[in-house]
Amino acid sequence: MTTLTVNIKNKKTEKAIKAVLDALGLDYNIDQHADAAKRPLNKSEQVIYNRLKKSADEIKQYKEGKIKLQDATEFLNEL
């Protein structure tokens, strides 16, 4: 099986391509948001991503017994 990726900018062209593929009896999938997944993160998105990744790493280390996490009461007492 071969995969062909076609980036279409307008609905008219999309309809024409789909009509050709249908006429040829080919199966196809439509990914409406392909560009969003490929674009680089902006600054605020990168900050959120880094924090989530750090938290996930800490949870993994805790589950493996490598670190001990502070409980909520200790955390709140420090505030």
Residue 59 lies in a domain: yes
The model carries a pTM of 0.48
Number of domains present in the structure of the chain:
1
H or E stretch including 8?
none
pLDDT category at 31 given cuts 50, 70, 90 is confident
Predicted confidence (pLDDT) at residue 69 exceeds the cutoff of 90:
no
Domain span at 39: 11-78
Residue 1 lies in a domain: no
Q: Which residue is it, tokens 């560009």?
A: 35
Residue 6 lies in a domain: no
Residue 4 lies in a domain: no
26: nearest Cα among 17, 37, 35: 17
Residue 30 lies in a domain: yes
